[in-house]
Chain A
């Protein structure tokens, strides 16, 4: 049940922030005999101070005050009291602003003209309930992220023991093993790596979604994270006899990015490219100055694989996207790779898109900010 259940001696407290004394009187009169207590403040400063003292349940806010105008008024109340339900009072002429106010966090708005008791009471109650609902959603979102962070920590610990135990036997520390023992322990080992990768991905996603992904921007040459990514995929490229061609101009400006995250982006895109390219095929990585003067670098990873039909192309960056079975016979992933790549690119301030021609291959292109002295 609601925790702010009002009773006769515990009325809900409404703070009216409004500079016209006539409106003080009007609102007062309208709420007389209702279950609300009303207080007023004739400028934003006084109102904010009153809110800070506590005990206010809902704010009726005029946006045009002596010390604050328009949406700024709302933003300042929101910043000081993010949990406060707000009903914006507007003149007839500024409904556009009223709607924007609701989009920016007010719970409701009321035109002053034609204001009636029933409407006022309803709006106040609605604002309180709506705010409560918004808080529940926010809280459950926060709990979801926390749950992912904690459970991934809890999952890693047993995974470590299993991996170490397998490593010991597989590394023949406990004595020689035969071919079949090696084969099946390798299966276990490989799948532990997959499981760890999934946990990493889930963590990344919870960080991207809660906007807690932190990146450390530094001027860097793209070739460094690219080479590290290519090196970590050597066994995959060897297995399928795929060659990766780099076309990076020597005068390419430095990027401004996080080296570890860029490596992660390259690994993910190259891994996909390898996955969808037939044996003996080619993968190309190229980079160029993106529209000179725009301070961005454009990087592409292209494969010579099956390609992606146009109807799929717009869905591939979505969370949990799975390639239709008809396009690949490889083991499916969790559908998180490209979603994370997009999150990583966007956290850098860049964007990513894909082009493809069925039967010829696909090309993923992303932009990254160039390093300029002003950016540092």
Chain B
């Protein structure tokens, strides 16, 4: 069976790197994007099996990307795990409204993130 493909989106290269390393170790194939535009184009071109999406991104923010994908018939089935350093209740609500499947606050436990990914793949 082909490896499942995960798109990791975070403008913090160090965070993207660590997530990528761990997920590749777990046997997933990873794509990485460092800003909103790159994320959207990679999501549409590569059609990944899951997206890990930071919210505060250059160019297009994570909420908008999630909304654009979740309201598009061709991509709405892709599970999205949102990452954020913001914990205002209203931000979490906004995240839920965009249709993201999970919402993870930074800093997070790597095992927990892996478990969430495996829940969908």
Binding site for B on A (CB under 8 A): 149, 153, 156-157, 159-165, 167-168, 171, 173, 192, 196, 200, 203, 214, 216
Contacts A157-B85, A160-B12 known; 19 new A-B pairs at CB < 8 A = A153-B86, A156-B85, A157-B106, A160-B85, A160-B106, A160-B107, A161-B12, A161-B14, A164-B14, A164-B18, A164-B22, A165-B18, A167-B18, A167-B109, A168-B18, A168-B21, A168-B22, A168-B25, A173-B22
Report the separation of the CA atoms of residues A199 and B19 in the bound assembly, to the nearest whole angstrom: 23
Contact of B116 with A by CB under 8 A: no
Q: Is the CB of B87 within 8 A of A164?
A: no
Interface of B is mostly: helix
Bound complex: CA A165 to CA B19 (Å): 9
B111 beta carbon closer than 8 Å to chain A: yes
Interface centre among B21, B88, B107, B110 (most CB of A within 10 A): B107
**Residues 1-35 of chain B, each 1 if its beta carbon lies under 8 Å from chain A, else 0:** 00000000000101100110110010000000000
Of chain A, the residue at the smallest CB distance from B88 is A149
Given known pairs A160-B12, A214-B89, the reply for A167 and B111 (CB within 8 Å) is yes
B residues in contact with A162, CB < 8 Å: 107
B109 touches A159 (CB 8 A): no
Q: Is B108's CB within 8 Å of the partner chain A?
A: yes
* Chain B residues with CB below 8 A from A203, complex form: 87
Contact of A156 among B14, B22, B89, B107 (CB under 8 A): B107
Q: CA separation between A157 and B107, bound complex, in Å?
A: 7
Q: Is the interface of A mostly helix, strand, loop or mixed?
A: helix
B24 to chain A, nearest CB (A): 9
Partner of A161, one of B15, B88, B90: B15
Given contacts A156-B106, A160-B12, A161-B12, contact A171 B19 (CB under 8 A): no
Counting contact residues on chain B (CB < 8 A from A), the size range is: 20 to 34
B88, B90, B110: residue with the most chain A Cβ atoms closer than 10 Å: B110
Contact A171 B107 (CB under 8 A): no
Is the CB–CB distance between B87 and A200 below 8 Å?
A: yes
Per-residue CB contact flags for chain B residues 61-86 toward chain A (1 = under 8 Å, else 0) read: 00000000000000000000000011
Give 9 CB contacts A-B under 8 Å: A157-B15, A157-B85, A160-B85, A167-B18, A167-B109, A168-B25, A168-B110, A173-B22, A203-B87
Distance A9 CA – B90 CA, assembled complex (angstroms): 49
Residue of chain A at shortest CB distance from B85: A156
Give the A-B pair count, Cβ closer than 8 A.
59
What residues on A are CB-neighbors of B15 within 8 Å? 157, 160-161, 164
Question: Are B86 and A163 closer than 8 Å at their CB atoms?
Answer: no
Q: Give the docked Cα–Cα distance between A196 and B109 (Å).
A: 12
The reply to whether B25 and A173 contact each other, CB–CB distance below 8 Å, is: yes
A172 to chain B, nearest CB (A): 10
Q: Could you tell me the distance between the alpha carbons of A121 and B9 in the complex, rounded to whole angstroms?
A: 63
In the assembled complex, which residues on chain A have CB atoms less than 8 Å from the CB atom of B108? 160, 163
CA distance A167 to B14 in the complex (A): 14
A153 to B85, CA, bound (A): 5
Question: Do residues B90 and A214 form an inter-chain contact, with CB atoms below 8 A?
Answer: yes
A159 pairs with B107, CB closer than 8 A: yes
Complex formed: what's the CA distance from A162 to B90 in Å?
Answer: 27
Which residues of the other chain, B, contact A156 by a CB distance below 8 angstroms?
Answer: 85, 106-107
How far apart are the CA atoms of A160 and B54 in the complex, in Å? Answer: 12
Which of A160, A173, A192, A200 touches B21 (beta carbons < 8 Å)? A173
**CA gap between A164 and B83 in the complex, in Å:** 13
Known: A173-B25, A192-B107. A161 touches B85 (CB 8 A): no
Q: How far is the CA of A160 from the CA of B10 in the complex (A)?
A: 12
Most chain B CB within 10 A, of A153, A164, A167, is at: A164
Complex Cα gap A171–B22 (Å): 10
* Closest A residue by C-beta to B110: A167
A-B pairs, 6 with minimum CB distance:
A164-B18, A161-B14, A167-B110, A156-B85, A160-B107, A160-B106
B9 CB to closest chain A CB (Å) equals 14
Contacting residues, chain B, for A160 (C-beta < 8 A): 12, 15, 85, 106-108
B111 to chain A, nearest CB (A): 7
Q: Which of B87, B88, B109, B111 has the most CB of A within 10 A?
A: B87
Contact A164 B110 (CB under 8 A): yes
* Docked-complex contact B87 and A161, CB < 8 angstroms: no
Bound Cα distance A107, B25 (Å): 66
Cα–Cα, bound, A167→B18 (Å): 9
